[in-house]
Structure 1
Amino acid sequence: MSAPSVPTYQHISSPSLTISSLSWSKFLPNLIVYTSSGGTTSIVDLSSKASTVSRCECMRRCSSVEFSPVNENVLLVACDDAFESSSLMEFDLRKMEEPLMKFCEHSEGVIAMSWSRWNDLVVTTNNHKVIVWDMYERLVISEKNSQSRLFDVQWNKTSEDTFFSEGTSARSFVAASDGQLHLYEVDFPLIT
């Protein structure tokens, strides 16, 4: 199949806007959210002529955005600014004025994040940490130091849990630094 030569849709918000991250809703296939390095988060409805559904200017420098894998109305916005009080903000799409929750304080900013289908969140931070949360409970499951700045992170989207006899399971994700890939496995207690 050949690539189309002309885009089927074009959204122009500002020629000076630098988009830092975007995410497509798995629940509402016509919704895309994007963030900018200038701090703007915008939700775009591809089926609407008005295009921008909601806009929020909540942080100074947005680095990443992800729709929730389990709730169609929730998204997370990350900030890589070391001076921002909270590096992650959770929003309800229906009222973007104020975040539902702020967390990841003292991380000196979040560089990248990935939200798994199991509702676990992994982030890499400016202070060389890899942090994994159980987003149902809002608890840190794992926090590890890294030797270098990790600029991207992704959960393994194809594999199922690896089960262990000790009552735990493992999930894997990969993080990238300059010229290297780092594979991590995180053990989770099995829910019975």
Structure 2
Amino acid sequence: MTICSTVTSLTQPLKSMEENLLINTYFSVFCYCLGGEEYTPEATDKQIEVVVEATVYCQSCEHFGSWSLIGAKPMASAKVSVTCKSHKDQITYYKVFETDQNGYLYAPLQGFKMQHYLLDHPLHSCYVKPVWSPLENCSLLSNVNYGLNGAPLRYENKRFHGSKYEVVVYAAGPLAFRPSHCSYS
């Protein structure tokens, strides 16, 4: 029940109809000036975190020169960069992350901000590149999923929710390094 409806109901027992009309008009104007708003609790700001995931492999020599990862082995401790550019082609985010023991990369983009909600969206503005391999025998970059120029992100409807946060996960295709001793023969 609002203040305005409470005050209006209190004016009912008055004797004179003119008094009742005058008081109702006064309170109607008063309530209109207040906007007739009821109390609403402040909305809590939900933190939305952007995360990029990928997997890094050492490509087998049998599939050297292709995008095939048959026989590839996951690469632990590989370094992978995530780069985001604004719609004006300026780098707005850059950070190097390390894969876990299974070659999996989970990269929370802390500090990532979109200057334009559509043009700077992670799907359009961010890409992932392999940077460094911990394996001497598998340290050359390959172009699996456009890894040389930067693998684009895709949205796979993966989200995690909490009471005050939401995580949106974008995926890059698998990335790979290749051995240097492979030949085309």
**TM-score normalised by structure 1 residue count:** 0.21
The structure with more helix, counted as a fraction of residues: 2
The structure with more strand, counted as a fraction of residues: 1
Greater relative contact order (CA < 8 Å, ≥ 6 in sequence): 2
Larger Rg computed on CA atoms = 2
